[in-house]
Amino acid sequence: MAFGWIDEQAELRRRAGLVRTLRPRPADSPLLDLAGNDYLGLAHHPEVVEGAARAARTWGAGSTGSRLVTGTTGLHAELERELAVFCGFEAALVFSSGYTANLAAVTALAPHGTLLVCDAGNHASLIDGCRLARAERQIVGHRDPEAARKALRAHEGPALVVSDTVFSVDGDAAPLGELASVCREFGAGLLVDDAHGLGVFGDGGRGAGHAAGLAGADDVVVTATLSKSLGSQGGVVLGPARVIDHLVNAARTFIFDTGLAPASVGAALAALRLLRREPERAARARRVAAELHARLTAAGHEAVRPDAAVVSVRAPSPEEAVRWAADCRAAQVAVGCFRPPSVPDGISRLRLTARADLSGEQIERAVRVIGETRP
C-alpha cells in the first residue's frame, strides 16, 4: 500500500514517546508564554502591528513575485539598509525566512571544492544548507575552535566555518572571537547564524557579531531571523557588499522564492526602529534569563547557565518532558519541550524564553509552576 511505511514509523514514534501534534494557540488567553521566541515582547507591540498593517495597505498582502521580478518594494530596500547599519555590516539581504536565508548563505558561499566546517550543534537549517551545498563537509565538536583549526589545517583550498552564535537548544554561545581567529589563520570564511543573538546580544541588541567585534569584517557573514526578537517573520543575511551581490545572483532560495511579504517587512522595520529607540530591551532580556536561571537552580532544577535569553531545564525522559510541559500548560504557563531528534545529545529539556517584557511576578509564577509540575 502506498505510504504504508508511514504507519510503521508512526508506531515507532509513539512507542518512543516522540509523537508531535499541532495545538492552535488561542488569540486571547491568560497563558504566560515562555515557549515562543518573542524575546523582546514585540510581536504584539502596537507600533509593530501597525507597521505590518500600513505596509500591507500600501504594498498589498503579498509581495507578488520573486525579489528579482516584482517582489522588491521600497520598504524591502529600507529594511535592508537599516538592518545593515544597525548590525554594522556593509549590506543586507532579506529572505522569506531565516531557514531560507541559511540555505542561501551556505549553498552560495560553499561551491564545489570548499570545505564546510560545522559545529555539531548547528541548527537544522544550517545542516540542510550544508547537505544541499556541493561541498565537502566536516562536523567538529560543539564550541571547539581547536577542532575547527585541525579540520582547516588538513584541507587545501577555500573553506567556510559554519556555526550558530547562540545554540537554540541550550542557549549556549559559540566562541566567535576564537573561531574568527582560527578562520583568519587559514584564510577561511566565517558564517554564523545569529537567530538567537540579534536583539539580545551586543550593544542595544546589535547581535553576536557586533558583540564579538566582527561587524563589518570582510571575511564574516551573519544570518539572522526576523521572527524572534523582531517579532515579525523572515530572515536576513548581513555581510560585505560583494557577498550580498553574489547571493542576489546565485542563491536559489533568493532567486526562486517569492519575496518577503510587505507586512513582515513593515513589522520588522517598526521593531528595529523601536529597538534603536529602546536599546535597554536587549539587556533586560539577558537579565530576565539570569534571574530565571538563578531561581530555577535555587529550586533544585538542572538548568544550563544562559549566555543569551534561552534557559534550558533538563527533563528525565522524553515522555516526562512532554507530560511536564503539558502540566505547565494546564497551569497556564507555556514552555518549549525539546526531545530527540531536535536535541543532538538525546537529552530532553524544557526550553524557556526569557522575554524582556516579563514582570517579576510572571517570573515567579513560571518558576513556581515548573516546580509544582516537576515529574
Which residues make Cβ contacts (< 8 Å) with residue 264, sequence separation at least 6? 52, 226, 232, 233, 234
Residue 259 and residue 275: Cα distance in Å, rounded? 24
Instruction: Kindly indicate which of the ranges 113-121, 147-155, 188-196, 256-264 contains the residues binding ligand PMP, using the contact rule CB under 6 A.
Output: 188-196
**Alpha carbon distance 375, 371 (integer Å):** 9
User: Min. distance of Cβ 230 from ligand PMP in angstroms?
Assistant: 10
Q: Residues in contact with ligand PMP, total (CB under 6 A)?
A: 14
Closer of 165 and 373 to ligand PMP (Cβ) = 165
Identify residues 113-172 at the interface with ligand PMP (CB under 6 A). 123, 125, 164, 168
Q: How far is the CB of 46 from ligand PMP (least distance, A)?
A: 23
Is residue 349 close enough to count as binding ligand PMP by CB under 6 A? no
User: Residue 248 CB, nearest distance to ligand PMP (Å)?
Assistant: 20
Gyration radius of the chain over CA positions: 21
Minimum CB separation from ligand PMP for residue 255, in Å?
18
161 DSSP β-pair partners: 117, 190
Mask for 54-73, x = binds ligand PMP (CB under 6 A): --------------------
Tell the smallest beta-carbon distance from residue 165 to ligand PMP (Å). Answer: 8
Q: How far is the CB of 170 from ligand PMP (least distance, A)?
A: 12
C-alpha cell at 191: 558564517
The site map against ligand PMP for 225-264 (x = CB under 6 A) is x-x-------x-----------------------------
Binding characters for ligand PMP, 76-115, by CB under 6 A (x = yes): ---------------------xxx--x-------------
How far apart are the C-alpha atoms of 253 and 248, rounded to whole Å? 10
* 3-state secondary structure at position 242: helix
Nearer to ligand PMP, 56 or 195 (CB): 195
Q: Between 91 and 174, name the residue whose CB sits nearer to ligand PMP.
A: 174
Q: Which residue is nearest to ligand PMP (CB)?
A: 98
Nearer to ligand PMP, 182 or 237 (CB): 237
Residues 188-226 as b or e (16 or more Cβ within 10 Å = b) = bbbbbbbbbbbbbbbebbbbbbbbbebbbbebbbbbbbb
* Footprint (CB under 6 A) of ligand PMP, residues 265-324: none
Which CB sits closer to ligand PMP, 38 or 193? Answer: 193
In the three-class reduction of DSSP (H, G, I as helix; E, B as strand; rest coil), residue 303 is classed as: strand
What grid cell was written down for 35?
515557549
DSSP for 180-224 reads HHHHHHHT-EEEEE-TTTTTTSSGGG--HHHHTT-TT-TTEEEEE
With CB under 6 A as the contact rule, the residue among 43, 117, 180, 195 that binds ligand PMP is 195
List of E strands, 80-156: 91-95, 115-119, 136-140
Is cis: bond before 341, omega within 30 of 0?
yes
Site for ligand PMP, rule CB under 6 A = 97-99, 102, 123, 125, 164, 168, 193, 195-196, 225, 227, 235
